[in-house]
């Protein structure tokens, strides 16, 4: 394990918070941003929520994956818009879920494709959307290992 004075690796995500505030300072390589919670749950709304960042990652990956696929195929895709929502639902209300009790997380993703695409191309792009790396990560078992850094 390294000590806290060790320089971060390029691309590492580092999140720093302070006592008394929900605002989190985030560094991803050379990029800086903040996360927070809305006023109604005790935050100051200084940035997106943690779930907002998860949705942004999925939306960005989806759009990038579709752009790269269309470019490789030479298809006339002009733009991709991805709208996402996260909510908790009862497992019993999800017909295609393995979990049948309690609450589960549901992400609803709506994709808008612009360009002169035929029905077959649009259908293939919708199929490819489920193959973006972040979608695959979120759809599989995830292992998070936590260590105390000294």
Give me the phi and psi of 18, to 5 degrees please: -125, 150
Query: Could you give the C-alpha distances from 23 to 115, 141, 146, in angstroms and in order?
Result: 40, 29, 21
CATH dotted code for 50-139: 3.30.300.20
Instruction: Tell me if 92 sits within 8 A of 101, measured CB to CB.
Output: yes
Q: What is the pLDDT of residue 104?
A: 81
135-144: pLDDT as tens digits? 999 999 899 9
Q: What global pTM score does this model have?
A: 0.85
Assess contact for 12 and 2: CB atoms under 8 A. no
- Give 5-26 pLDDT, tens digit per residue: 445 676 799 999 999 999 999 9
- Beta-bridge partner residues of 25: 16, 34
Domain limits of the chain?
A: 6-47, 50-139
- The residue behind tokens 């752009």 is 67
**pLDDT of 131 over the 90 cut:** yes
Q: Could you report the per-residue pLDDT of 15-67, keeping only the tens digit for each? A: 999 999 999 999 999 999 999 999 999 999 999 999 999 999 999 999 999 99
């Amino acid at each position: 394990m390294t000590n806290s004075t060790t320089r971060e690796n390029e691309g590492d995500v580092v999140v720093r918070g302070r006592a008394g505030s929900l605002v989190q300072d985030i560094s991803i390589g050379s990029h800086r941003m903040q996360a927070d919670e809305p006023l109604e749950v005790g935050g100051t709304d200084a940035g997106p929520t943690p779930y907002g960042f998860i949705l942004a990652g999925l939306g960005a990956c989806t759009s990038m994956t579709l752009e790269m696929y269309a470019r490789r195929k030479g298809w006339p895709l002009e733009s991709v818009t991805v709208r996402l929502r996260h909510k908790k639902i009862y497992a019993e209300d999800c017909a295609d879920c393995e979990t049948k009790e309690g609450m589960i997380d549901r992400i609803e993703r709506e994709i808008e494709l612009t360009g002169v695409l035929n029905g077959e191309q649009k259908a293939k792009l919708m199929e490819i959307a489920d193959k973006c790396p972040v979608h695959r990560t979120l759809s599989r078992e995830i292992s998070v290992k936590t260590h105390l850094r000294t």
